[in-house]
């Protein structure tokens, strides 16, 4: 029997993720959105690509959750993008309400699933989804680090004119400005990057990676990145479905690791059939530890705003 993957949010990121997962051929997918007919139309279009791409897997579109029942993995991309005049907190609380409502339905129909959080602001949404689900921490984690790392690896490979496959990198902390690239663990064909380029060049590439999402937004004018995000989702979903035990950067709920307790933060994790099977704790320098703590502090601020809003609503 094929695995079953649900993706909630049939926008650019969600639909492209379903397209990529469908192309793998070994998982049936369900695409869910609130917009009437949109997921059904996109799903049918993808299904009709099956004979050409050689995928017998099923793709279903729906505006409700019955079709998602018994999913192995659920990816949550549902949300709205920040609109002009909207504050950061407005966006936070709107997407909090959306992801809470989505999670309730997901848990009802797939009580044993593994949830991959994608909606931004990622770290805070991951925390909200984890709390709303009542799942153990291994079954709710977030995608951001794979994307940030992919951007960093792309820029390094371009700079050195080497294969992207030979560039290994680690990015910890929050998604975006708070990102903590672990330059010491960044290698090209196993060679530390410090042997391959100057510190100034590394710093420039780190800076470009931090602003990677914004660079795409500025070029697209409308909407944000989705090709690299959907590829990153697919890598994480595949690691779960094939029990690959991959070591990837992921957003995980920390219980004392790295000296952080009770917060979802980007760290290296082992991803397999159990979801986020292990937080890989590595030794950080004082500067790296400080940067990670600063990143955790900004997640904490958002978590406080969400907590106050939830208490106020009661």
Applying CB under 6 A, which residues contact ligand APR? 8-14, 32-35, 77-79, 81, 98, 101-102, 118-120, 223-224, 226, 229
Burial 21-33, CB ≥16 within 10 A → b, else e = bbebeebbbbbbb
Cβ proximity to ligand APR, 99 vs 187, nearer residue: 99
Q: Whats the size of the chain, residue-wise?
A: 314
Phi and psi at residue 140, to the nearest 5°: -140, 115
CA-to-CA separations, 18 to 115, 156, 216, in angstroms, rounded: 15, 29, 21
Two tokens at 87?
């504050």
Q: Are 279 and 250 in contact (CB under 8 A)?
A: no
CA-to-CA separations, 176 to 12, 142, 213, 229, 258, in angstroms, rounded: 19, 14, 7, 13, 20
Q: Are 212 and 148 in contact (CB under 8 A)?
A: yes
Radius of gyration of the chain (CA): 19
Within a 10 A sphere around the Cβ of 78, how many other Cβ atoms?
Answer: 24
User: Which residue of this chain has its Cβ atom nearest to ligand APR in the complex?
Assistant: 11
Q: How far is the CB of 81 from ligand APR (least distance, A)?
A: 5
Strand partners, 142: 117, 251
Alpha helices, H only, 49-198:
50-53, 88-109, 122-133, 145-160
Q: How far is the CB of 126 from ligand APR (least distance, A)?
A: 12
Q: How far is the CB of 15 from ligand APR (least distance, A)?
A: 7
Cβ proximity to ligand APR, 43 vs 102, nearer residue: 102
Residue 22 falls in the annotated catalytic set? no
- Distance CA(220)–CA(107), nearest Å, equals 35
Identify the active-site residue in 175, 210, 246, 270. Answer: 175
Q: How far is the CB of 100 from ligand APR (least distance, A)?
A: 9
Q: Are 240 and 271 in contact (CB under 8 A)?
A: yes
Q: How far is the CB of 209 from ligand APR (least distance, A)?
A: 16
Q: What angle do CA 227, 145, 296 make, to 5 degrees?
A: 135
Q: How far is the CB of 176 from ligand APR (least distance, A)?
A: 10
User: What positions carry a catalytic annotation?
Assistant: 175
């Amino acid at each position: 029997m094929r695995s079953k993957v649900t993706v909630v949010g049939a926008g650019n990121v969600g639909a492209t993720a379903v397209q990529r997962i469908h192309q793998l051929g070994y998982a049936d997918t369900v695409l869910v959105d609130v917009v009437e007919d949109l997921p059904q139309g996109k799903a049918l279009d993808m299904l009709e690509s099956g004979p050409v791409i050689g995928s017998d897997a099923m793709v279903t579109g729906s505006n409700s959750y019955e079709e998602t029942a018994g999913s192995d993995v659920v990816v949550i991309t549902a949300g709205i993008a920040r609109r002009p005049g909207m504050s950061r907190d407005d966006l936070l609380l709107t997407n909090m309400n959306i992801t809470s409502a989505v999670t309730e339905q997901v848990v009802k129909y797939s009580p044993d699933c593994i949830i991959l959080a994608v909606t931004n602001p990622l770290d805070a949404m991951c925390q909200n989804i984890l709390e709303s689900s009542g799942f153990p921490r291994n079954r709710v984690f977030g995608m951001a680090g794979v994307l940030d790392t992919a951007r960093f690896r792309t820029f390094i490979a371009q700079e050195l004119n080497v294969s992207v496959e030979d560039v290994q990198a680690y990015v910890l902390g929050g998604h975006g400005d708070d990102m903590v690239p672990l330059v010491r663990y960044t290698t090209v064909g196993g060679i530390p990057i410090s042997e391959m380029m100057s510190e100034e060049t590394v710093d420039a590439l780190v800076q470009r990676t931090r602003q990677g999402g914004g660079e795409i937004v500025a070029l697209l004018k409308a909407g944000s990145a989705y090709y690299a995000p959907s590829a990153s989702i697919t890598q994480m979903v595949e690691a779960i479905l094939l029990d690959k035990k991959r070591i990837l950067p992921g957003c995980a709920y920390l219980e004392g690791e790295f000296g952080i307790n009770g917060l979802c933060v980007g760290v290296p994790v082992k991803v397999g059939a159990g979801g986020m099977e292990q937080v890989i704790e590595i030794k950080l320098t004082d500067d790296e530890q400080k940067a990670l703590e600063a990143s955790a502090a900004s997640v904490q601020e958002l978590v406080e705003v969400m907590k106050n809003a939830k208490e106020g609503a009661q």
